[in-house]
Structure 1
Amino acid sequence: MNIWMAVVLLILVIALVGTLSLTKKSDEDYRGATKKNTKNLTLIYGVVILLSLIALGVYISLSS
């Protein structure tokens, strides 16, 4: 049991070191990519909500 706890702790330490080493690198085009992603996600959510409302309306009209 103790050996498994040591393995888990070792994996956690490796994951922490890897995560911290990746955070040192910055992305110069982050703002532009974020703006584009936000527009795309907003469009996707809008279409999904609209289609969901249409499907709900069809379901309610057919079930009555």
Structure 2
Amino acid sequence: MTIGLILVFIIIIGALLATLLLSGKGDEEYSKATKRNTTNLSLIYIVVILLSFLAVGVYIKWFV
């Protein structure tokens, strides 16, 4: 169980870093709206992380 949680955290951190590194690259229109796009992606990550924690909690409560 501990190894699974560690892997989840590594994947989340890696995905977040990759998104932030790539957020300024791409077409011209994307770079003009980088702040808005980064904000939107950050909000998506926050929601996904919270839902992931909820799912892990439900799994631990009912299946372990």
Q: Give the alignment's TM-score, normalised by structure 1.
A: 0.51
What residue ranges of structure 1 are gaps of 5+ in the alignment? 1-25
Alpha-carbon distance between aligned partners in 2 of 1:63 and 1:29, rounded to the nearest angstrom: 44
Tell me which amino acid in the other structure corresponds to 1:30: S
Identical amino acids, percent of aligned pairs: 58
Task: Provide the residue aligned with 1:50 in structure 2.
Answer: 50
Q: Highest Rg: 1 or 2?
A: 1
Task: Provide the residue aligned with 1:30 in structure 2.
Answer: 31
Q: Give the alignment's TM-score, normalised by structure 2.
A: 0.51
**RCO higher in structure (CA 8 A, sep ≥6):** 2
State the number of aligned residues: 38
* RMSD of Structure 2 on Structure 1 (CA): 2.2
What residue ranges of structure 2 are gaps of 5+ in the alignment? 1-26
